[in-house]
Amino acid sequence: MVADVINNGYRMETGDAGLRFKPFGSWIIRNLSEVERALGDFKMPENRLPVVIDLSDIEKIDVAGAWLIHRSAKKFAAANHPITFESVGRGARILLHEVAESDRPAEIPPPKPSTAATLVTDTGKSVISSVGDVRRLVELIGSMAMIGVNMVRRPATLRFTPILYHLEQTGVRAIPIVALICFVIGAIIAQQSIYQLRDFGAEQMAVNFIGIVVLRELGVLLTAIMVAGRSGSAFTAEVGAMKMREEIDAVRTLALDPIEVIIVPRLTALVIAVPLLTFIGDMSAMTAAAIVSFFYGGVPIDLFIERLRDQVELLNFTRGIIKAPFMAIVIGLVAVIEGLQVEGSTDSLGRRTTSSVVKSIFLVIVIDGLFVLYYAMVDG
Amino acid sequence: MAINPRAIKTTGYLLEAEGLSVGFGATNIIENLDIQLKRSEILGVVGPSGTGKSVLMRALIGLLPRRAGTIRYFGRDIDKLSLSARRKVERRWGVLFQHGALFSSLTVRENVQVPMREHMKISQSLMDELAELTISMVGLAPNASAKLPSELSGGMIKRAALARALALNPDILFLDEPTSGLDPVGAAEFDELITSLKETLGLSVFMVTHDLGSLYRACTRIAVLGGKKVMVEGELDEILAFDDPWVQSYFHGHRAQTAQIQQAEQNKVHV
């Protein structure tokens, strides 16, 4: 390594009368790392001789440099050296004065608790917050029910324009992606099941399997997951940004109910849109399955349709699509609850949006499982 | 002997813009505008709403593209600088945005340390000391350093943002409506803070403002924008004597008289 030439540093001179601390060069913020490095090897002399801080070799100084001189002076003072300043220019004097005046002990942040302790407290916190989630859910469902009753009595309170707007955003605009995803999944399932059943020469049986799996479970599940990712996150971000910018408070002060104005239209739109999207997804998946069966399994299209009609009962379709409105409600409620909990920082907006999507996808799958259990019990 | 008149003109100006034009779409908000900032002055830029005060400031600090004109900082044309030289120039100015623009997920201390961390190689402990010093200099209480911006009041946000602007010890400080949203007492205190920081740190300040009080209390020179240009500039007395309906109603209206009375009373108290 090349030996560093220190342009900005200090010299320590020992004379008869005492010590002389002589900073030199430019003690300004641009050179601060160099000055700090130079000061790093500073050793406090083990005596109590008076120290003169001589600024005659300082070319330039700014507030950061003044701070370092002030800090060095404090160190001398702490080691019981009497200190005097010499050759302090006018600018440096003002800076040293300002720095001394603004010097105060920093507030020490409390020490971080150990990992084990954090683990326990975090677990506790998340349990408590889940209880809070349930409470907020119950509250929200309660006020929604009140508004629902109100709407039935006075249908004029239903806001059609926003509902139509959100229907377009969450429904119409989601058609291409939902149709595409279901098409691809339908094709994959068709290929896999035909491949497995081919050994038994039962390619046609694949239609039963595909029909039941897609119409009963996968169509609605995929649609709901897509909607949770697309619209759930959007709702959380919208409501969260409105909360951050006090728009929700503004709605309240205008003698309007935020639930009625902001939440009900979004939820209504979702409840209408998700079943329709599910239907589109189902049809798209079945189309893909028919095409794959024809080319890969050699099942003619008319035979595919015939088997679908005869073997896969309508019940499978209705049992699938009946889940859609429930999933829509869960997605909407989770999105809104998370959105309303956004606090001041952009950080919390991001966190809430993430947790909205994760929670709603999780709950959508749980709901699907509950329906499966229910049907199993009903059918005996 | 050939003397370059431009060279004589540039001396003493920290910032000098010539023939500046900035606009959106088909219209120019400001056109062929000249403005200068001298060393150790507080330049107040005023003008009716929509005359492009903020646009001018944003163009000067390079946030808005300009359609024409040259900008010189410290006598050097910023268009002719390399990227790294430009970054060096940019580190010599600090900007206080109207709403503070603090990073909302960082504490005040961390906000102040962002520019230090990016541009300097110093130890964390020195960075902590310098941040605390700056926070103390702008008049924030010690317990403010660990707070998040969402936990601060409007006046504290301005002070914290000022601390971040001062973190790299700039030569030029740009202030966009520094006293907007503050109560009159808070605004007066903020003006005093700016004035005293100018004295101690040797700052030069470019201040876009609506606040007559700031013009009376803090500014050493005033530029009035109008008609896409600097309509008039000079010290307060010169502006007061300028014959323009907007200037007259702004500086001699009811609000102006209130500000004058306040200022007079403050002077009495100081004496």
Sketch out chain B's domains with CATH numbers: 15-21+29-270 (3.40.50.300)
Using a 10 angstrom Cβ sphere, with 0-12 exposed, 13-18 middle and 19 or more buried, the burial of residue A145 is: exposed
A-chain residues near B105 (CB < 8 A): 345-347
Contacts of residue A165, defined as CB under 8 A and 6 or more positions apart, other chains included, come to A265, A269
A105 touching B, CB under 8 A? yes
In a domain, A216, yes or no: yes
In a domain, A113, yes or no: no
A208 plus A283 within the same structural domain: yes
Give B98→chain A minimum CA distance, Å.
16
More confident residue, A270 or A74: A270
Half-sphere exposure for A65 (CA within 13 Å, toward CB): 25
In the predicted model, what is the mean pLDDT of residues A303-324? 90
Q: Are A266 and A171 in contact (CB under 8 A)?
A: no
pLDDT value at B10 more than 60: no
A349 plus A248 within the same structural domain: yes
B118 touching A, CB under 8 A? no
CA distances to A103, B68, B240, B252, B254 from B258, rounded to whole Å, are: 38, 40, 15, 10, 6
In a domain, A77, yes or no: yes
A197 plus A338 within the same structural domain: yes
A350 plus A229 within the same structural domain: yes
B27-38 vs B13-24, strand pairing mode: antiparallel
Q: Which contacts qualify for B185-189: CB closer than 8 Å, 24 or more apart?
A: B186/B154, B186/B155, B187/B211, B187/B213, B187/B214, B188/B213, B188/B217, B188/B262, B188/B266, B189/B139
Of B104, B146, B200, the CB nearest to A345: B104
Q: Which amino acid is at A286?
A: M
Q: Compute φ and ψ for A8, nearest 5 degrees.
A: -130, 110
Give the pLDDT confidence score for residue B184 in this predicted structure.
Answer: 83
Helix, strand, coil share (%) of chain A residues, nearest 5: 75, 5, 20
Report CB contact under 8 Å: B129, A91. Answer: no
Measured distance CA(A298)–CA(A260) in Å, rounded? 54
Of A33, A94, A107, the CB nearest to B145: A107
B-chain residues near A106 (CB < 8 A): 128-129, 132, 142, 145
In a domain, A107, yes or no: no
CA B267 to centroid of chain Cα atoms: 25
Measured distance CA(B60)–CA(B97) in Å, rounded? 14
| Length of chain A (residues) | 380
A351 plus A264 within the same structural domain: yes
A positions 68-97 inside 8 Å of B (CB): 71, 91, 94-95, 97
| Cβ count within 10 A of residue A275 | 21
Give the pLDDT confidence score for residue B11 in this predicted structure.
Answer: 53
Of B133, B168, B200, the CB nearest to A103: B133
- Give the mean pLDDT of chain A: 86
Q: Are A226 and A174 in contact (CB under 8 A)?
A: yes
Q: Which amino acid is at B137?
A: M
Q: How confident is the model at residue A185 (pLDDT cuts 50, 70, 90)?
A: very high
In the predicted model, what is the mean pLDDT of residues B179-192? 84
pLDDT value at B97 more than 60: yes
A83-86 vs A58-61, strand pairing mode: unpaired
Instruction: Tell which residue, B195, B200, B202, has the closest CA to residue A98.
Output: B200
In the predicted model, what is the mean pLDDT of residues B163-167? 89
Q: Are A285 and A182 in contact (CB under 8 A)?
A: yes
Q: How confident is the model at residue A352 (pLDDT cuts 50, 70, 90)?
A: very high
Helix (H, G, I), strand (E, B) or coil at A316: helix
Measured distance CA(B165)–CA(B41) in Å, rounded? 18
What stretch of H or E contains A132?
helix A115-153
Q: Which domain-ending residue is among A102, A120, A146?
A: A102
Measured distance CA(A247)–CA(A224) in Å, rounded? 29
Of A63, A106, A343, the CB nearest to B128: A106
Token couple for A122: 């975090």
Report CB contact under 8 Å: A67, B133. Answer: yes
Measured distance CA(B246)–CA(B47) in Å, rounded? 8
Report CB contact under 8 Å: B169, A64. Answer: yes
Chain B residue with Cα closest to A349: B105
A352 plus A263 within the same structural domain: yes
Question: What percentage of chain A exceeds 70 in pLDDT?
Answer: 97
Measured distance CA(B23)–CA(B69) in Å, rounded? 12
Report CB contact under 8 Å: B105, A347. Answer: yes
Give the pLDDT confidence score for residue B4 in this predicted structure.
Answer: 40
Report CB contact under 8 Å: B130, A28. Answer: no
For helices A314-321 and A323-340, give the axis angle rounded to 10 degrees.
Answer: 10
What letter would DSSP give residue B37?
E
- pTM (2 d.p.): 0.71
A109 touching B, CB under 8 A? yes
Report CB contact under 8 Å: A345, B121. Answer: no
Report CB contact under 8 Å: A62, B201. Answer: yes
ipTM, two decimals: 0.76
Q: What is the 3 state secondary structure string of A267-279?
A: HHHHHHHHHHHHH
Q: Are A347 and A380 in contact (CB under 8 A)?
A: no
Helix (H, G, I), strand (E, B) or coil at B141: coil
Give the pLDDT confidence score for residue B1 in this predicted structure.
Answer: 37
In a domain, A112, yes or no: no
B81 touching A, CB under 8 A? no
Instruction: Tell which residue, A61, A82, A69, has the closest CA to residue A39.
Output: A69
Domain that holds residue A68: 9-102
pLDDT tens digits along B194-251: 888 888 888 899 999 888 888 888 888 888 888 888 888 888 888 888 888 888 888 7
Of A77-81, A107-111, A324-328, least confident by mean pLDDT is: A107-111
Strand order across the beta sheet in which B27-38 lies = B27-38, B13-24, B68-73, B76-77
- Give the mean pLDDT of chain B: 83
A165 plus A272 within the same structural domain: yes
B positions 134-153 inside 8 Å of A (CB): 136-137, 142-143, 145-146, 148-151
Q: Are A170 and A276 in contact (CB under 8 A)?
A: no
Measured distance CA(A68)–CA(B45) in Å, rounded? 36
CA distances to A60, A138, A270, B121, B133 from A30, rounded to whole Å, are: 11, 59, 57, 10, 17
Q: Where are the alpha helices (DSSP H) in chain A?
A: 32-40, 63-78, 90-102, 115-153, 160-170, 175-197, 206-212, 219-227, 233-244, 247-253, 258, 264-292, 301-311, 314-321, 323-340, 346-379
A-chain residues near B172 (CB < 8 A): none
In a domain, A327, yes or no: yes
Q: How confident is the model at residue B152 (pLDDT cuts 50, 70, 90)?
A: confident
Give the pLDDT confidence score for residue A215 in this predicted structure.
Answer: 92
| Length of chain B (residues) | 271
In the predicted model, what is the mean pLDDT of residues A106-126? 82
Among A26, A28, A32, the strongest candidate for a mutation testing the B interface, having the largest count of B CBs within 10 A, is A32
Q: Are B15 and B3 in contact (CB under 8 A)?
A: no
| Cβ count within 10 A of residue A34 | 19
Using a 10 angstrom Cβ sphere, with 0-12 exposed, 13-18 middle and 19 or more buried, the burial of residue A288 is: buried
A85 plus A186 within the same structural domain: no
Q: Which amino acid is at A85?
A: F
Instruction: Tell which residue, B109, B93, B110, has the closest CA to residue B169.
Output: B93
Give the pLDDT confidence score for residue A168 in this predicted structure.
Answer: 94
Measured distance CA(B62)–CA(A101) in Å, rounded? 36
Report CB contact under 8 Å: B200, A94. Answer: yes
Give the pLDDT confidence score for residue A111 in this predicted structure.
Answer: 74
Of B137, B145, B146, the CB nearest to A98: B137
Measured distance CA(B48)–CA(B42) in Å, rounded? 20
Measured distance CA(B199)–CA(B184) in Å, rounded? 23
In a domain, A150, yes or no: no
pLDDT value at B7 more than 50: no
Report CB contact under 8 Å: B105, A94. Answer: no
Q: How confident is the model at residue A186 (pLDDT cuts 50, 70, 90)?
A: very high
In a domain, A31, yes or no: yes
What stretch of H or E contains A52?
strand A51-54
Q: Are A216 and A318 in contact (CB under 8 A)?
A: no
B201 touching A, CB under 8 A? yes
Report CB contact under 8 Å: A36, B126. Answer: yes
A315 plus A201 within the same structural domain: yes
Measured distance CA(A290)–CA(A288) in Å, rounded? 5
Q: How confident is the model at residue B256 (pLDDT cuts 50, 70, 90)?
A: low
A9-14 vs A19-27, strand pairing mode: antiparallel
pLDDT value at A284 more than 90: yes
Report CB contact under 8 Å: A106, B151. Answer: no
A90 plus A172 within the same structural domain: no
Q: Are B184 and B6 in contact (CB under 8 A)?
A: no
Give the pLDDT confidence score for residue A107 in this predicted structure.
Answer: 66
Q: Are B112 and B126 in contact (CB under 8 A)?
A: no
Q: Which domain-ending residue is among A72, A87, A102?
A: A102
A259 plus A373 within the same structural domain: yes
B125 touching A, CB under 8 A? no
B-chain residues near A99 (CB < 8 A): 133
Report CB contact under 8 Å: A106, B129. Answer: yes
Task: Please report, for the domain that includes residue A20, its CATH number.
Answer: 3.30.750.24
A207 plus A97 within the same structural domain: no
In the predicted model, what is the mean pLDDT of residues A68-75? 86
Q: How many domains does the structure of chain A reveal?
A: 2
Q: How confident is the model at residue A69 (pLDDT cuts 50, 70, 90)?
A: confident
Give the pLDDT confidence score for residue A214 in this predicted structure.
Answer: 92
What letter would DSSP give residue A113?
P
